[in-house]
């Protein structure tokens, strides 16, 4: 069963159409909507943040579980539909905003650590994940729908083709797994690719300790600037860390990192160890 006929009717009545450039693929299959809410273990009375609420079909499922929903939607036409649908719903707080510019930290100060349950717009999903990870202290968990190929990057192992910057950063700060996959026919319009529900938990303390998360991010991004290049080449500009080339070499030696390796072969723990060693050299350089 699905909400497809209702969704199409709303599009017609409102004079709207899904915008491909915004990644607007609405999940309409009721079975999978229910599975998402179940996988997120949504409890009555808790606050849930939904990013990209669309026409509110997932919002309705969250409300059925008794949640208080903070629903973000940037599209003006979609937001108008949401206002009509939830005009009399006291447990829905509608927010007309771009998620990439929204102040999630301010919302967290109002309602506590944030739990996100959402079908993320495909076109900004990776940028949103970077933002969530960089602000991990205000999020407790994410249950998010992503393109399968994107989801698999987040759980990729070192040395594989899918292993990248976010694989490392999430490996340090979060516990990540793929709950299940959803076929394209469950969406409208139906994409040609599979989607996946990804569970991201931000435990405290994080899985891997690191002294300076920003320094770690700089290190990881620099290390992946050329996937086939060695760390000796990708990290040639030691000045980005505020240290000399000689200090970078010493930091690598002290953290047991061979600069002849490629960045894609380092585990999250190795990156964290290397970043901490660089941080110590940076302190010495500053004194």
Closest CA to 16 of 79, 89, 62: 79
On whether 27 is known to bind a ligand per the annotation, the reply is yes
Strands 187-188 and 26-27 turn out to be: antiparallel
On whether 237 is known to bind a ligand per the annotation, the reply is no
Place of tokens 């939607």: 73
Q: What is the DSSP letter of 3?
A: S
- Determine contact, residues 169/229, Cβ cutoff 8 Å: no
On whether 128 is known to bind a ligand per the annotation, the reply is no
Vertex 52: Cα angle to 46 and 53 (nearest 5): 60
Residues 6+ apart with CB under 8 A from 185: 29
On whether 98 is known to bind a ligand per the annotation, the reply is yes
On whether 280 is known to bind a ligand per the annotation, the reply is no
Angstrom CA distances, 38 to 33, 47, 53, 68, 178, stand at 9, 15, 18, 16, 14
On whether 91 is known to bind a ligand per the annotation, the reply is no
- State the virtual CA torsion across 264, 268, 274, 278 in degrees, nearest 10: 100
Q: Report the SS3 class of residue 248.
A: helix
CA atoms within 13 A on the CB side of 191: 22
Residue 262 to residue 258: CA distance in whole angstroms: 9
Q: Which two tokens stand for residue 3?
A: 């909400």
- Determine contact, residues 176/200, Cβ cutoff 8 Å: yes
Angstrom CA distances, 108 to 114, 138, 168, stand at 6, 6, 25
Annotated binding-site residue numbers for S-adenosyl-L-methionine: 25, 27, 52, 73, 98, 119
Which residues make up each annotated binding site? 25, 27, 52, 73, 98, 119
């Amino acid at each position: 069963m699905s909400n497809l006929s209702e969704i199409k009717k709303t599009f017609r009545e409102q004079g709207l159409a899904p915008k491909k450039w915004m990644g607007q693929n609405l999940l309409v299959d009721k079975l999978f909507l229910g599975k998402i809410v179940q996988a997120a273990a949504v409890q009555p009375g808790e606050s849930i943040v939904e990013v990209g609420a669309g026409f509110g079909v997932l919002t309705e499922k969250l409300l059925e579980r008794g949640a208080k929903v903070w629903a973000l939607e940037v599209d003006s036409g979609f937001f108008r539909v949401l206002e009509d649908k939830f005009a009399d719903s006291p447990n829905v707080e509608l927010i007309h905003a771009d998620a990439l510019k929204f102040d999630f930290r301010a919302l967290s100060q109002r309602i506590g650590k944030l739990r996100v349950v959402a079908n993320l717009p495909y076109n900004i999903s990776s940028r949103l994940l970077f933002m969530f990870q960089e602000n991990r202290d205000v999020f407790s968990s994410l249950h998010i729908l992503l393109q399968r190929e994107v989801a698999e990057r987040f759980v990729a192992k070192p040395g594989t083709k899918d292993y990248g910057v976010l694989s490392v950063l999430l490996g340090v700060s979060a516990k990540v797994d793929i709950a299940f996959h959803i076929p394209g026919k469950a969406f409208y319009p139906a994409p040609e690719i599979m989607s996946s529900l990804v569970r991201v938990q931000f435990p405290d303390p994080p899985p891997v300790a690191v002294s300076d998360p920003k320094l770690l991010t700089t290190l990881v991004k620099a290390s992946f600037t050329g996937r086939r290049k060695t760390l000796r080449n990708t990290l040639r500009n030691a000045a980005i860390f505020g240290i000399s080339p000689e200090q970078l070499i010493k930091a690598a030696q002290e953290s047991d990192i061979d600069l002849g390796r490629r960045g894609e072969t380092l585990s999250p723990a190795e990156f964290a160890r290397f970043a901490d060693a660089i941080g110590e050299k940076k302190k010495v350089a500053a004194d």
